[in-house]
Amino acid sequence: MGNYLSVGNAGFAAALRGTYVDKTGLICFMNSRLGTKSKLVCVSRPRRFGKSFAAQMLCAYYDKSCDSMSLFDGLEISRNPNFKEHLNRYHVIYLDITLFLSRALNKRSIVRNIDHAVMTEVQETFGGAEGSDLAETLVRAAKSSGEKFIMIIDEWDAIFREAKEDSGLQKEYLDWLRGLFKSSWTDDIFAAVYMTGILPIKKYGTQSAVSDFREYTMTQPEPLERFVGFTEEEVRDLCGSSSLAFEEIQRWYDGYVLGNGTHIYSPQSVIEALQRGRIGNYWTQSETYESLKFYIEMNEDGLKEAIIQMLGGAHIKIDVATFQNDMKTIRNRDDVLTLLIHLGYLAYDIDQKSVYIPNEEVREEFVRAVTTGRHTEIARLIQNSERLLEATLNLDEETVAATIEEAHAAGTAPTFYNNEQALRSVIRIAYLCCIDEYLRIDELPSGHGYADVVFLPKKNSVRPLLLIELKWNKTDQGAISQIRNHNYPQVLKDYGGSILLVGINYDAKDKKHTCSIETYDLNG
């Protein structure tokens, strides 16, 4: 077995010895692409979402230098009638670009290093396959042997992430990829190519630099959405043998909703939580939050306001098409937000063409980033949320109104603040600290309408339930009256704890908030 050609199945065998979730259905997809014009596949997804596991699985299945029959026995692919047709039948080249980067004494030589290292192994294996570069060597080897290669490139975009300022090196790398995958030799050399990365393939204008690849990204994953991470069904199965309930995992890690309504979870986060028996921030801690902090502190118009709205739970409309698929060519707010989608810090609703913070784990990382960064007004907003919660619990109506006023002034663009939906967004932000002890429910159905915002205390919390009704150009007392007249609290009768009714009104003419707070007795 070689370092790059015929690497065997050791990586996949090691994965099977741990907590393994069956993703071998991806092999069926790749088998359907073998030898076709759709044989070049690039799958991009955030770090720690199982990219390398998938690459190692494909190596184990296709590599003819090993026998992987027993490894796949009982897995999804083994039930496919064509399972054995392609099992261990190909010469496989496996490249981990991060490995080359870590070993390079000079990053500027990395492309030449890759080409020379793989070419040498191919020439050693196929006598007489001499060529001036890897592409020529591969076409000679394929024609002399009558066998095509499968190439698997893991972390294909590492050069764009690690050397994001070196446009010369990036161009050299893209030219090398074009020489392999966009030439008259490509069909002669490859039965299939599978590339993984965080970023989609670099664009120039509107065109991909290596345009023959079929790409499956965080903004367009279909039909591979179930292979992006763990599905809800898979997480439920994992929780069956854990001390953690699925509902706890769901509350903290759910939120990436891809094509066809498929809910996806970060494998890193779920596995760590289940093995440790404790909910925690595991995915984001696998890399410094400085990368997030750098991008959200960019001085792009509307970025600060978008971050504030998303921290409050809002979805923000964006155009993902302008993003050039690199970490340097950032031209506007939407480019920043699109990059954060591919990094996993934001989720994308393809139907609504909007972006949002996916879950509490990532939201916590955003809070850390803004409270330690240069957006001091956002940091102050978050800090004031603690004062707002205490004022609410103490029935201090004037302080509540004044603090919401401050949240409005600091966190919302004037053009946005024009209806009750906008007010609801400000309320989400103003009560941001509630995420520690409360579960927020927007528009809770009551049978006689919808309660605007409900903060339900989490398990073991001694806090009272907060039922908040919002009004626009009316009165705060009118909000309280609506809660009582529509009997909103009755939907919460099984809660069993104390309830605070909070009515908040905004007068657009005076630009003032007012607040009324009352206690409510479910038995009264």
Q: Examine the domain organization and report whether 232 and 326 are in the same domain.
A: yes
Q: Examine the domain organization and report whether 358 and 475 are in the same domain.
A: no
Q: Examine the domain organization and report whether 370 and 421 are in the same domain.
A: no
Q: Which of 216, 248, 269 represents a domain boundary (last residue)?
A: 216
Count of all residues that appear for the chain in the document: 524
What 3-state DSSP class applies to 193?
strand
Q: Is residue 50 part of a domain?
A: yes
Q: Examine the domain organization and report whether 386 and 363 are in the same domain.
A: no
DSSP 234-283: HHHHHHTTSSS-HHHHHHHH--EEEGGGEEEE-HHHHHHHHHHTS----S
Q: Which of 179, 197, 216 represents a domain boundary (last residue)?
A: 216
DSSP 90-104: BEEEEEEHHHHHHH-
Q: Is residue 5 part of a domain?
A: no
Q: Examine the domain organization and report whether 47 and 128 are in the same domain.
A: yes
> Domain tally for the chain?
3
What is the predicted pLDDT for the residue at 204? Answer: 65
The CATH code of the domain that includes 59 is: 3.40.50
Q: Give the alpha-carbon dihedral of 179, 184, 187, 189, to 10 degrees.
A: -50
User: Using an 8 Å Cβ cutoff, are 465 and 499 in contact?
Assistant: yes
Q: Is residue 4 part of a domain?
A: no
262, amino acid identity: T
How confident is the chain (524 residues) per 10-residue block, as mean pLDDT?
91 94 97 96 93 95 97 96 96 95 87 95 89 94 95 94 89 93 94 95 70 93 95 95 89 90 94 92 68 81 83 87 87 93 94 92 83 70 84 94 82 55 76 77 75 82 88 91 83 78 90 92 67
Beta bridge partners of 94: 152
Q: Examine the domain organization and report whether 390 and 514 are in the same domain.
A: yes
Number of other residues whose CB lies within 10 A of the CB of residue 106: 8
Q: Is residue 167 part of a domain?
A: yes
Q: Which of 173, 194, 216 represents a domain boundary (last residue)?
A: 216
Structure tokens at 262: 């498929």
What is the predicted pLDDT for the residue at 414? Answer: 46
Q: Is residue 2 part of a domain?
A: no
Q: Examine the domain organization and report whether 156 and 199 are in the same domain.
A: yes
What is the predicted pLDDT for the residue at 413? Answer: 46
In which domain, by residue range, is 509 found? 376-520
Q: What is the pTM of this model?
A: 0.85
Q: Examine the domain organization and report whether 39 and 146 are in the same domain.
A: yes
What is the predicted pLDDT for the residue at 83? Answer: 96
Q: Is residue 82 part of a domain?
A: yes
Q: Examine the domain organization and report whether 234 and 211 are in the same domain.
A: no
Q: Examine the domain organization and report whether 195 and 247 are in the same domain.
A: no
For residue 50, give the nearest of 89, 3, 11, 8 by alpha carbon: 11
Structure tokens at 72: 């796949």
Q: Examine the domain organization and report whether 210 and 80 are in the same domain.
A: yes
CA dist., res. 122 & res. 412, Å (int) = 60
Structure tokens at 135: 């592409």
Q: Is residue 3 part of a domain?
A: no
φ, ψ (nearest 5 deg) of residue 66: -140, 170
CA dist., res. 219 & res. 234, Å (int) = 22
For residue 65, give the nearest of 125, 145, 137 by alpha carbon: 125
Q: Is residue 304 part of a domain?
A: yes
Q: Examine the domain organization and report whether 424 and 514 are in the same domain.
A: yes
